[in-house]
Structure 1
């Protein structure tokens, strides 16, 4: 029956396609006629000066036109075909004139071609539409026949597989109970009152689940002991500690953490941390505050009506689970009270600033005294005396520079340093820096080679602080460049930033010290006299405060390149 229905459907579908093809044959003829008449009109245009050929093409056009007039199939096609006859009459009349006007002929031909195109489009759309309808009808016939056959097959298969499924139903029930056990749910059992071949299996299964329940209870007791031991250890710490699992369940929290969060232990232990966060802004802050570059973050928290500063740490532990290849990923939040340290650091900064400021007075007095000694009014100095005064001046300038560095650092740490940003030409900054270090070059007979890109864009920076940074790079390079050596200074535009680089050819810096060199009070050469180890640290604060970048590239034995990058308003 199925095969017969499919064959019969195929037969009628084939007949439907054949009938559709007969229907659209007339449309295809029209399309051929239109194409032939287009060619005849083109022949007239190409041979407009050859009267014989144009009349011959026109005669062929008329014979095709007659066929088209006898093959009208679509609505509106008759009206358009009449226009073709009108166009033919006009073209023929012009061609038969003794002095035929080519422009009038071309005008009539182009007008006629418009009607040819409309007839062409009309029949083309009709052909396409009829083909689509025929195909859809054929597809529907095949679809319905297939559905009928498929339904019969499915009904047959249903009865074929019904009995086996009935037989395996008890096995599926037992499999489901085993699945519950695999998920550590031991409160399951099978019906022991059944009278089929699965009764013995049910008895053995129930005995197994009872033993597993006893084993689980003993393990649970051991786990409770371990948890209580962990809680006892955590409670001994005087710092706030909170632990939660990878499923966001709060595992423990000591009294100090409960005091900070202002919650009770029974209200959070065992709860989902997301439930607590919705009602506790501080816990929400502890969990969601970003921790960039693994740096500790300071939080201001009111504890016992006093503001305290805490440093937050989040630790993740990976614990092996027995009889499993997976790991438990738990997290611990630790808050270190750093209030006293911060206050001491602030007092240290204030003390350094006060001390440095007080030192300015005796330094100014020394400078004034040396100026008086070098004055002609108090008498002329001999060469030895003048040498001593020059040494005093050098050391005084050195002391003043160290005082200014400490004061600058104090302002930076206090957050009160000001920046006067203005549009600046990089070339002028570099020229001023070179003039500043000229006296240091003469003592060691060092020359500076410059490579400055032309027409560098304007940068908006604090001139004094950028100049201070470049001078710091140059004086360091002079210090570590051997006598009669060379220093390279370059400035260029790369990726929309101004790159300024100072390269010496000294001993270089190893990778470990490259990470420390911009820290405060770091001096790589402990035996070197003078300097506070603050120059590069202050330079880093200056440049980064202006949204720039600073760094160093160095290799042992090949020298060092200190660089800064300043942003511009253009992109390369």
Structure 2
């Protein structure tokens, strides 16, 4: 039987119970009302007629002809009504006796009446009226008792039927919802078990209805999932072992954590660097392990990309740290969710050693090149001396080219030496309290001649009072000169260059910001992130010569070494603004 049919039968049963109770109540209420109506119609009207006739007999006074005639009329009317309302046994004989005595009374009444005979007839009439009244009173009492018995029977029947209906309905109410809800509850619990990968869960509904069909479909689904789970388990285990083997054989140290910072895996290289076993790491809370391990604490706390120096296997090694955030793919109703992260330590010791060798080589070559360059410049100076001899126009041009090339070589050599100092960490900084205007004046005087050659206008935008900064005057001015040289190189003739400074506050610290603004071609957004990299030059369609790609990289090292920051703001076709900031004394 279908659930819909069972619901229809159940609701139909409740409807039938309601109809039964309503029908019985209406039937017995109508029966009681009918019996009460019969009492009113039969006996109560007879009592009313008897009372009216008694009252009329009191007016039978022949001396007053008008009152006598009215009383006779009333008595006659009520007597006639009583003759039409004979309902009780014996009531007819009494009523006829009253009528006969009344007729006799009318015959004897008059001026020549026999008073004794009249009174005797009147007494008989009144006595018969009392007998009629008493008969109807006893009939009312009897009928009332019958009605009361009927009411008691009705109450008893209704109580019996109502109690039976309540018991049956209560049983239906208690059991039928469970018939619907229990299978749904079992189905919900089974679905949760399936969600927890318990594919051995089964439903057992014996009913031959939709729930039975649902149980069969659910059990079939669970069997298929169980088969799929077991068929893929070996493959999943194989893939897991293969991935673990790959991770363990990688030369980089790899540590995996979930979203709660529980360590999920750590390869052999990571355990060697941390000096811990796999059992000390796997399934452990990373911050707890970090309390006893300085390297892990540093890996969890520090997010900077500065190379790490780790003493490992009897020598110093260098590593870079990469942190990969693992997120679950989002859905239409749900955003991406962080489910873990992987920390990778790449061994860059070999590259560090090569970089150090390169730095030493550059420092050595730059130092050795200074001597022949100085000799070239000395020889060039002697050639230009008219005491040595006159030179023609072509020889003069050759000497100018030699001077330009030697100056360029000398500048490149100086930048390489500065770069070598930066990379070896041997920057010699001479701090002193310096006014920002002193730095700006130092730099503008150094490039004033270059600006005049291109007919450029230098504008300064300085507030009246600026706080002093603690810096190395020469190296800070060198940075500003580098900014100005680049601005001159990339500005068209008769343009202007704006030099500005101002006080700024960041994170409760005060800084002085220095800026050089040009109105040249600007820098493409693709290259702004690399503008401070070593040897990087912005690709230039017009091939402007003169740069080595080291000036901005050295400038960045000089500024950051003094606790400042450096940046660029530029839009293609709108010019560029190079800025740096230094902390206030």
Judged with a 3 Å threshold, the aligned counterparts in structure 2 of structure 1 residues 249 and 366 are, in CA distance, closer, same or farther, namely same
Query: CA 1:242–1:392 in structure 2 vs 1: closer, same or farther (change >3 Å)?
Result: same
Question: Within 2, Cα distance between the matches of 1:238 and 1:462?
Answer: 43
Structure 2 counterpart of 1:471:
481
Q: Map residues 57-76 of structure 1 onto 2, 5 A cutoff.
A: none
Match of 2:501 in 1: 491
Aligned to 1:434: 444
Call closer, same or farther: CA 1:547–1:299 in 2, change over 3 Å.
closer
Map 1:452-531 onto structure 2 (within 5 A).
452-495=462-505, 496-525=510-539, 527-531=543-547
Give the CA deviation at 1:276: 7.4
Out of 250, 258, 266, which is 1:245 matched to? 258
Residue 248 of structure 1: how far off its partner (Å): 4.4
Structure 2 equivalent of residue 416 of structure 1:
426
Distance change in 2, residues 1:217/1:391 (3 Å): closer
- The match for 2:374 is 364
Match of 1:229 among 221, 242, 250: 242
Q: TM-score, normalised by structure 2?
A: 0.57
Q: Secondary structure at the match of 2:461?
A: strand
In 2: Cα distance, 1:484 partner to 1:543 partner: 31
The alignment of Structure 1 onto Structure 2 pairs a total of residues equal to: 400
Q: Is the 8 A contact 2:532 2:553 kept in 1?
A: yes
Distance 2:438 2:314 in 1: 56
**By how many angstroms is 1:519 displaced?**
1.4
State the shift of 1:430 in Å: 2.3
Counterpart residue number, 2:308: 299
Note if contact 1:426-1:456 (Cα within 8 Å) is conserved in structure 2: yes
Q: For residues 93-138 of structure 1, what are the alpha-carbon distances to aligned partners after superposition, in whole Å with 9 as ceiling and x for unaligned?
A: xxxxxxxxxxxxxxxxxxxxxxxxxxxxxxxxxxxxxxxxxxxxxx
Which segment is superposed worse, 425-434 or 333-342?
425-434
Alpha-carbon offset, residue 164 of structure 1: 8.2
Superposed displacement of residue 475, structure 1: 1.6
Alpha-carbon separation, structure 2, partners of 1:275 and 1:213: 38
Identify which of 560, 563, 574 aligns with 1:547. 563
Q: 1:392 to 1:327 in 2, by over 3 A?
A: closer
CA contact (8 A) 1:490 1:502 kept: yes
Shift of 1:394: 3.4
Query: 1:415: Cα distance to partner?
Result: 0.8
Cα deviation, residue 363, structure 1: 1.3
Deviation track 1:144-164 (CA, whole Å, cap 9, x = no partner) reads: xxxxxxxxxxxxxxxxxxx98
Question: Partner of 1:284 in structure 2?
Answer: 296
How do 1:92-491 and structure 2 match up within 5 A?
178=190, 183-184=196-197, 220-265=233-278, 268-269=281-282, 271-274=283-286, 277=289, 281=293, 284-285=296-297, 287-292=299-304, 295=305, 297-318=306-327, 329-375=339-385, 378-382=387-391, 384=393, 388-491=398-501
CA distance in structure 2 between the aligned counterparts of 1:306 and 1:288, rounded to whole angstroms? 24
Structure 1 segments unaligned to the other structure (5+ residues): 1-162, 193-199
Q: Which residue of 2 aligns with 1:153?
A: none
Distance of 1:353 and 1:521 partners within structure 2: 16
Residues in 2 aligned to 1:249 and 1:494: alpha-carbon distance in whole angstroms: 43
- Uncovered stretches (5+) of structure 2, i.e. residues with no partner: 1-172, 206-211
- The answer as to whether partners of 2:499 and 2:516 remain within 8 angstroms in 1 is yes
**Could you tell me whether the CA contact under 8 Å between 2:256 and 2:342 is conserved in 1?**
yes
Q: C-alpha separation between the residues in 2 aligned to 1:434 and 1:210?
A: 82
Aligned pairs (5 A) from 1:530-541 = 530-541=546-557
Write out per-residue CA displacement over residues 439-461 of structure 1, whole angstroms, 9 at most, x where no aligned residue: 21332222223333223332222
Query: How has the CA–CA distance of structure 1 residues 236 and 508 changed in structure 2, closer, same or farther, with 3 Å as cutoff?
Result: same
Rounded Cα–Cα distance in structure 1 between residues aligned with 2:578 and 2:435: 20
TM-score relative to the length of structure 1:
0.58
Larger radius of gyration: 2
Within a 5 Å distance, the mapping from 1:10-89 to structure 2 comes to none
Deviations 1:428-482 (A, max 9, x none): 3322322222221332222223333223332222111121122112222221222
Contact 1:187 1:209 in 2 (8 A): no
Distance 1:554 1:277, change over 3 A: same
What corresponds to 1:566 in structure 2?
582
Q: CA RMSD in A?
A: 4.4
SS in 1 for 2:429: coil
CA distance in 1, matches of 2:529, 2:338: 35
SS of residue in 2 equivalent to 1:316: strand
